[in-house]
Structure 1
Amino acid sequence: MTKIKDISNFLESFAPLRLQESYDNAGLILGDQNSEITNVLITLDVTEDVVEEAIQKKCELIVAHHPIVFSGLKKITGKNYVERTLLKAIKNDVAIYAAHTNLDSVTGGVNGKICEKLGLENCRILQPADGLLKKLVTFVPVDHAEKVRQSVFEAGAGHIGNYDSCSFNIHGQGTFRGDDTTNPYVGKKGEQHYENEIRFETIFPAYIQGQVISALLNAHPYEEVAYDIYPLDNKFDQVGMGMIGTLPEELDETKFLQQLKEIFNTGVIRHTQLQNKKVKKVAVCGGSGSFLLNRAIAAGADLFVTGDFKYHQFFDAENKIVIADIGHFESEQFTKELFYELLTKNLSKFAVHLSEVNTNPVFYF
């Protein structure tokens, strides 16, 4: 039987919680992680109607993109939709889980799904994250170096772009002397020992440090393992905000906007003045992406697809790019499809249902 923690652990292995923005509240919001489940309901937003749908479909867990709770609640009395939704879920033992900006940040996440829908190629993160990489340096006896390397790589270290198993290795000589309480792998206690060793260096994202160090310690033969961890300022191009890619063939601006409107089934596209140029390179950001406009311009994008641009922000395009605001909900609607694919392809001991409730609060006349 599957438990809620099995689903949350899987989703967080794909989109770690440490990648969420400081204002966010991703993760298990309501429910007992040890509860068993047989049905999951997927939605973009959690509302009273969505909880009712979960009840009718006998879903013990709702997986959403947007957290129903962003800031702390001091009371739950039913005075607004958030409190009423939570009360209804609690009374009916329906758990709620959200993967939000952490799912926005990973390559195969929300923005990756948008790129897929648009048919973009050669996609990459528009604004790679910094401060997320660390370097591991350790010292291993020559005959155990390969075992330690492979163990650390299997734990997730050693990825640089499209390459894996990346490391640097230097031969050298280590020295040590154990006291009477030790049981050295090589040498004798109380005697100075010289051992031919490999200095092994590799990088890893900070959020997997625990598993990387655990793999190192389990594979290393020494009783006391010497290792160093250094923070790096390098950009981490596998994680960040927005994405950018190229169309297989360039299109007229009006043709692209028409296709965009059809694919995302949006009532209207708010856009800046067309530049009478072909569209080849496209930047995207699900949800509110205005903060990435200058990044999209600097990356040479012809057009930027996102939502929630304010009136004065449209002026910032300065005829350097076409902004296409398709709406917040519309830009993220395929996140439900993403959740469905992740869960059905990787976990199979429960039923997954796509919510039929339209949670878009914006209507077009």
Structure 2
Amino acid sequence: MFPSVLHKAGPPAWQRLLKVMQEIAPLELAAPWDNVGLLLDCPDETQWASFDTTKKMRLFFCNDLTEQVVEEVIARKADCVITYHPTPFGKMNKITRHTHIGRVMLSMLTNRIPVYATHTSFDCVTGGINDWLLSAFGSNIVADTVLPVEGLKGNPNPAFGFGRVCDLEKPLSIDDAIGVVKAHTKLPHLRLGEPMNANISKETKTISRVAVCAGSGGSVFKGYRGSKVDLFISGEMSHHDVLELNQNGAYVLLCEHSNSERGFLPEVARRIGEKMGPDYSVEPLISEVDRDPLRVA
């Protein structure tokens, strides 16, 4: 993307927000197939020119910008949407009312509400979504990157990349590890894949080394199959990926795709509020409608 270009247009508050987004989730870290950054550039310039320390900018945070979430955005009078997953995600040849993405974009444009997506730029940055997911096991954990960013010229930090892996300060039972993840993500249910080796059981195997990847972890964990990781945590993985890890003696814990990501939104809102500085005040609006499309029936 082109952050230097994006910062040159619009009122100072708008320019400042775009600069902050680039600081906390650098666009150059995103995967080449991803659609991140400013997706819909339609701020109400009169409104944005009026923001200061007394008039708060209402920033709306969601994981997926669905039609139902758009209704909430409008009802809560948001000034900008910051979504984790891009909408649109892939290439669009036309924007019409005949597709749900078309209706989403037309509604946002009509109401002059800009859309900014972070996705894999927040996956790869240090302190991003994967570090948040891993922090379920403690705030002082030192983690390594599972899959470093490749092809980034002048990569300022070799720790940038997808997924995280770490050694726990104190081994846990699998039941305790499940409880930790449930508490951190605020999820009542998770899916568990168990080792298939007859010599491994809850009583004999403890969790000392953990790997995480928010969203979909199958390809990210590929290089760690057969390694000494005891527990792999992700949103979703294919049947065969889970089977292989279980055959190699590891546990797999799945939250569902967006459930492994959504809990990070309040942290994003907090960081933006801090980074906007003393000249602006932010009112964060965390979506109450946004949810994973799958549930336990």
Pick the structure with more strand per residue: 1
CA deviations on 1:67-90 (whole Å, 9 max, x unpaired) are: 011222222222222111111111
CA deviations on 1:309-361 (whole Å, 9 max, x unpaired) are: 11122222122322212211111112212211211221143322111113311
Give the SS at the match of 1:261.
helix
Instruction: Give 1:208-219 correspondences, 5 Å limit.
Output: none
Structure 1 residue 266, shift from structure 2 partner: 4.5
Cα distance in 1, alignment partners of residues 17 and 224 from structure 2? 35
1:85 aligns with 2:104: yes
The Cα RMSD (Å) is: 2.2
Structure 1, unaligned runs of 5 or more: 135-203, 206-235
Counterpart in 1 of 2:220? 292
Counterpart in 1 of 2:174? 253
Larger radius of gyration: 1
Counterpart in 2 of 1:20? 30
Going from structure 1 to structure 2, the CA distance change for 1:33 and 1:59 (only over 3 Å counts) comes to closer
1:305 aligns with 2:221: no
Structure 1 residue 112, shift from structure 2 partner: 0.9
1:268 to 190, 199, 203: 190
2:147 to 98, 111, 127: 127
Going from structure 1 to structure 2, the CA distance change for 1:32 and 1:290 (only over 3 Å counts) comes to same
1:327 aligns with 2:246: no
**8 Å Cα contact 2:42-2:112 kept in structure 1:** no
1:39 aligns with 2:49: no
- Under a length normalisation based on structure 2, what TM-score does the superposition of the two structures give? 0.82
Work out the percentage of aligned pairs sharing the same amino acid: 26
Instruction: Give 1:172-251 correspondences, 5 Å limit.
Output: 205=156, 236-251=157-172
Cα distance in 1, alignment partners of residues 133 and 108 from structure 2? 31
Counterpart in 2 of 1:356? 288
**8 Å Cα contact 1:261-1:269 kept in structure 2:** no
Going from structure 1 to structure 2, the CA distance change for 1:44 and 1:50 (only over 3 Å counts) comes to same
Q: State the aligned residue count.
A: 266
Cα distance in 2, alignment partners of residues 99 and 3 from structure 1? 19
Cα distance in 2, alignment partners of residues 246 and 116 from structure 1? 12
Cα distance in 1, alignment partners of residues 163 and 103 from structure 2? 33
Give the SS at the match of 2:240.
helix
Going from structure 1 to structure 2, the CA distance change for 1:359 and 1:4 (only over 3 Å counts) comes to farther
- Under a length normalisation based on structure 1, what TM-score does the superposition of the two structures give? 0.67
**8 Å Cα contact 1:287-1:308 kept in structure 2:** yes
